[in-house]
Structure 1
Amino acid sequence: MNDRQFEEILKLAGGEGNIRQVKREGQSTILMLEDHSKVDMSAPDAADLEATIRITGAECFLVIRDEFSSYYRLLRDMGTPESIHDHPERKERHTYRTSFSILEFISDVFRPIMPAILGAAVFKIVLAVITLISTYGFSGPSSFLQSQTFMILKSIGESAFYLLPVLAAISTSRQLKSNIYVAAAIGGLMFYPQMSYLLSGQEEVHFMGVPMVSQAAFFTATLWMILTISAASYIERAVERFSPRMLQGILAPALTLGILVPLVLLVLGPLGSWIDKRMPAAVDSLLMDAPVVAVMLLGATFALMLFAGLHYWLVPLMLNELMTNGFSVIIPAMFVAFTAQAGAALAAGLRSRQPGFRKLAFWATGTALLGVPEPAIYAVNMRKMASFGAALFGGAIGGLYFGLVSVKSFALSESASLLEIPSFMEADTLNLLHTCIGLLLAFAVSGALTYWLVGRASHTKHVNV
């Protein structure tokens, strides 16, 4: 599509001022017009545009075949309002949102994929309960945990989390109305067998002379995936505007995959290598010199580390702690961070007047307490800066208590959850009691602070309105 073709679209619609709203439907772009009498079917290229006029009562629509969304993106970039008749929730956001919020955008990205995440989380929790019962001998010895059936069931529960980069890429693309298939290809890059093998850590890897970190999961962390797909959307929109008609839908994906993805690897590769060399040593040194501060900081920032893919570097430190000392203080910090997110999610749900959000918040609270914090972090707490900040503060308070009383975990677990409480038991000590107190403290502080801050923000907003 060129500028002349777009001018013909505007002429056909009776001018830019005659377009009330625009929306995307299937492979067509639909323009709602103010006055159907202004439609000019004498435009020279009108016949080639595959456009039809549809009149429903007093409303007039111009339906244009737009396979690659070129007309739609241009009209939206011009400031033409999007149709919101079929989406009451979007209408509410459109009415009250006055500025762009990165946290709210991330929450919008994750909310559509929450059914899959919550379903998988419930499945994982059921399997974790079975594992707990079998491990501690409540039902007698069982070979079920070593069976192929259990391995398959466990894989089913992990599938949504394993493919989370792809799901996040697709959802980000849908939010930005770019090509979801290109986004899925980018999100799945690290799952390609050859890439997985290269980044397995068996040998040093370089790309165009730049070192690559041997943490494939780091490249697909939520933060980097959302930023990459956002950049891809921008490139696609810019390229499609100037692409010849023959190359529409082809040139933009080619440039995105051929230029943007290598560029992202060239940026994240050295960044990951730098983190790989410095972060484990820094955390280990802080744990030795100032353990109270270290646990407090980990409790406060673990959710951010999870978001940026930095938590993978803590696993070797946990293993080293357990093998060297027989216990870990990093695992309790992770546990208190998840609990603080649960408290903030519960308070956010109690404050909300939207039934759908309340239900999501309550479910997210339960899954966070049972070791799956993603719904609480991404879909609930990131919705508001107040609740997310309160969750980080609650994690810091709980971590400070854990550091002061030296709470320890004596077993490595797949996730920090209430089901792992037995791993904090130690004979002739108050370690388990201190664990419960610290978790309650983090939950209560983050919950109370969220409830107060969100209520205060709502009251201020109501007064201003």
Structure 2
Amino acid sequence: MNYQETANKIVEGVGGKNNINSVYHCVTRLRFDLKDNSKADKAALEKLDKVMGTNIAGKQYQVIIGNDVARVFDSIVKEYPELQDKKEKEQDAGEQKNKNVISRLFEFIASVFAPILPAIAGAGLLKGFIALFVSLGWLSAGSDTYRIISSIGDGVFHFLPMLIAFSAARKFNSNPFVAVAVSMALMSPDITALLSSGNPVAFLGIPVTSVTYASSVIPILLAVWLLSYVEKGFNKIIPSSLKLLFVPLFSLLIVVPITMIVIGPLGTFVGDALSGGINWLIVEGGLPAGIILGGAMALIVMTGMHYALVPVILSNLATSGFDKFLPLTYISNMGQAGATAGVFFRAKDKKLKSLALSTALTALMGVTEPAMYGVNMRYKKPFLAGMIGSAAGGGFALMFGVNAYVLAGNGGLPGIPAFIGPTFWYAIGGLAIAFVVSLIVSILLGIKEEAPEQDNSRSESNVSAEQDEAAAASNAALSPADLLEAGSVEPTDETVYAPLTGTAIPLTEMDDPTFGEEMMGKGIAFVPERGELVSPVTGTVMNVFKTKHAIVIRSTDGVELLMHVGINTVKLRGQYFEAHVQTGDQVKAGDKLLTFELDKIAREYDITTAMVVTNTPDYTVIAPLQLGPVAAKQPVLKVEV
């Protein structure tokens, strides 16, 4: 049975086209919104050869397909385009439209390397410690123990193409094991010996260029990209009963020779050119390049551009044994740590001093997000101080040719073994300069504690997935033009109404530091009795979060409110939530915003719901009007300028 036939049978099995409101899919299953679930023929559906089972979650009827779900879904919407979930369709189209080629490239590189970084980081740190132990005389470089431990560290980098092949295959939707088989063929001892023999090599009379695939990055990425298209082509023309044998066979026979003849040399040339260009800029640029790159590194990391340099760093470490770009990331981290430490010495508020001290120490350990987003960007001047210190440290480092010799996997003090080598003390000097200069500049610039400047991309100091999502939820999702149209008004006194029925409690009682410590702003919290969220004000919907658990509204009088249903509910990825408004909609107080299946969510998560005034600094008073039992649309919060 082909995919189109399966799709037609599934549509028939769920009661026909007229019984379907909409359909979308996740990783393994089709998710139908049916008019009447009782019309679905469970037995008939589960007899289909591509259907693994069925399930009903809430009102949603799910048909479990497995790895082929995307192909079955595509076949359904090809035949019945009107059935595709409109919101899902608009969201996907909008996301693709808004992403340019560079953004998609960064996203791809990040998604390929993120899963394999733990193995690379662990092996890199081990290599750093080996170098340290040898330099201290604790380990002999010629001993069997040294060789065994070195093999543990070197193995990951030597066979790096295998890790990349598996990870890239998952991204390209090709068979990851066939992708690994391609990398194994390229790195097999016989092929390696053949290409390194110095003699001319040919395949069917076509010359094969000598290329070393061990530790390479670009060639295997291109090879797996080619594999994804070859597999798709053979999957279309080979009968299902023969696919298991012949799709991998023909894919290997085509991809491996083409890689050796064309892709390998091309990928090596591109990789060498990219690495050479960046390395030339860093080496020849010296002090000016260090100042510019060191100062801008925090911005580079924020935009995700650093992911594009991961292949270059790995290539440099594999081919040259060192890399000059990696030290700048350490230096940037030290700059942010120093700037936050400056806030600790300058601040008067005890809570802020405690936050600055803890996040500065965390940044020294290589985790800069709490310091950068929770303190430095919030007050802006410390962020500038961090960039100034990083520029000073970066200039010093490149002026003296500082190198990183391994990828230690930590950009803080625990990763210092990465610098063990001839330029070690210059590296330490660069880190110290970045920290001290940032500390001093941060103290000199100071902060405005009584009304901290808020960045439009507000975040908080906790690095949990829930809190990162909560911060993102508070960002206005409209364009600048839309924001102007929505009306950027001067805040005035206002009464805010309860967005749900339940029990009102102080926001500080929430078991989540992001809200409980009022990092996002002041407000109030609720323990809901019903799964319905209504608008607490009349105004504009600024952001309906993708996972539907949070929404941001700006009232006509200027108050900006983030409503966040539950704690850690972002992990549900929208399950049990339904949004009734979209970004940009105009709403009145009491209009329905979200509905959610309260009982099902409460089985796994704390359902306490926060309502936070995200532009808190615009007001002198933000206070609950009542606590305890409340009904939706009752006055619960007053804000006064």
Q: Same fold (TM over 0.5)?
A: yes
Distance 2:405 2:30 in 1: 53
Q: Give the one of 134, 145, 150 matched to 1:149.
A: 145
Q: Is the 8 A contact 2:169 2:176 kept in 1?
A: yes
Distance 1:274 1:4, change over 3 A: closer
Superposition deviation, residue 116 in structure 1: 3.2
Superposition deviation, residue 194 in structure 1: 1.3
Distance 1:283 1:30 in 2: 46
Q: Give the one of 217, 240, 243 matched to 1:245.
A: 240
Question: Does 2:257 correspond to 1:262?
Answer: yes
Q: Give the one of 211, 214, 223 matched to 1:214.
A: 211
Normalised to the residue count of structure 2, the TM-score between the two structures is 0.45
Superposition deviation, residue 118 in structure 1: 3.8
Which runs of 5 or more structure 2 residues have no equivalent in the other structure? Answer: 78-82, 86-90, 298-304, 342-360, 368-385, 409-414, 442-453, 460-471, 479-542, 544-641
Matches within 5 A, 1:33-432: 34=34, 35-39=36-40, 52-55=53-56, 58-63=59-64, 69-75=67-73, 99-100=98-99, 101-134=104-137, 144-200=140-196, 202-206=198-202, 209-217=206-214, 220-221=216-217, 223-271=218-266, 292=286, 307-308=311-312, 311=316, 315=320, 333=324, 336-337=327-328, 339-340=330-331, 401-402=396-397, 405=399, 407=400, 418-419=416-417, 420=419, 423-424=422-423, 432=425
Distance 1:436 1:287, change over 3 A: closer
Which runs of 5 or more structure 1 residues have no equivalent in the other structure? Answer: 83-92, 135-141, 319-330, 351-361, 369-390, 426-431, 449-453
Distance 2:233 2:315 in 1: 33
Please list the CA deviations of residues 406-451 of structure 1 after superposition, one character each: whole Å capped at 9, or x if unmatched. x257x996679744466248xxxxxx5x654445567899999xxx
Distance 1:364 1:213 in 2: 45
More strand per residue: 1 or 2? 2
The corresponding residue for 1:374 is none
Superposition deviation, residue 196 in structure 1: 2.0
Superposition deviation, residue 179 in structure 1: 1.7
Superposition deviation, residue 148 in structure 1: 0.8
Distance 1:445 1:266 in 2: 52
Please list the CA deviations of residues 19-71 of structure 1 after superposition, one character each: whole Å capped at 9, or x if unmatched. 6443455xxx565552433435898996666665545675543345x6xx445
Q: Is the 8 A contact 1:165 1:187 kept in 2?
A: yes
Distance 2:365 2:84 in 1: 39
Distance 2:132 2:58 in 1: 59
Distance 1:281 1:61 in 2: 52
Superposition deviation, residue 363 in structure 1: 9.7
Distance 1:261 1:102 in 2: 24
Q: Is the 8 A contact 1:52 1:63 kept in 2?
A: yes
Distance 1:392 1:259 in 2: 50
Distance 1:43 1:242, change over 3 A: farther
Distance 1:146 1:113 in 2: 30
2:126 counterpart letter in structure 1: F
Distance 2:196 2:336 in 1: 36
Query: How many equivalent residue pairs?
Result: 376
Q: Is the 8 A contact 1:228 1:264 kept in 2?
A: yes
Superposition deviation, residue 237 in structure 1: 3.7
Please list the CA deviations of residues 210-251 of structure 1 after superposition, one character each: whole Å capped at 9, or x if unmatched. 452433236x40x44344334433443454345422233444
Superposition deviation, residue 127 in structure 1: 2.9
Please list the CA deviations of residues 293-319 of structure 1 after superposition, one character each: whole Å capped at 9, or x if unmatched. 89869999998666156537963xx8x
1:462 counterpart letter in structure 2: N
Q: Is the 8 A contact 2:23 2:33 kept in 1?
A: yes
SS in 2 for 1:248: helix
Please list the CA deviations of residues 114-140 of structure 1 after superposition, one character each: whole Å capped at 9, or x if unmatched. 443344344334433322321xxxxxx
Q: Which has the higher contact order (CA 8 A, sep 6+)?
A: 1
Distance 1:333 1:189, change over 3 A: same
Superposition deviation, residue 253 in structure 1: 2.7
Distance 2:269 2:155 in 1: 30
Q: Is the 8 A contact 1:74 1:241 kept in 2?
A: no
Superposition deviation, residue 285 in structure 1: 9.6
SS in 2 for 1:217: coil
Superposition deviation, residue 182 in structure 1: 1.2
Normalised to the residue count of structure 1, the TM-score between the two structures is 0.58
2:38 counterpart letter in structure 1: S
Q: Is the 8 A contact 1:303 1:337 kept in 2?
A: no
Superposition deviation, residue 184 in structure 1: 1.8
2:475 counterpart letter in structure 1: H
Superposition deviation, residue 401 in structure 1: 4.3
SS in 2 for 1:146: coil
2:194 counterpart letter in structure 1: L
Q: Is the 8 A contact 1:5 1:45 kept in 2?
A: no
Distance 1:81 1:307, change over 3 A: farther
Distance 1:310 1:213, change over 3 A: farther
Distance 1:24 1:280 in 2: 36
Q: Is the 8 A contact 1:332 1:402 kept in 2?
A: no
2:311 counterpart letter in structure 1: F
SS in 2 for 1:62: strand
Please list the CA deviations of residues 166-196 of structure 1 after superposition, one character each: whole Å capped at 9, or x if unmatched. 2222223334443221122123333311122
Distance 1:284 1:41, change over 3 A: closer
SS in 1 for 2:63: strand
Distance 1:311 1:414 in 2: 10
1:162 counterpart letter in structure 2: H
More helix per residue: 1 or 2? 1
Superposition deviation, residue 277 in structure 1: 10
Superposition deviation, residue 147 in structure 1: 1.6
Distance 2:210 2:436 in 1: 39
Distance 1:271 1:148, change over 3 A: same
Distance 1:413 1:422, change over 3 A: closer
Q: Is the 8 A contact 2:109 2:307 kept in 1?
A: no
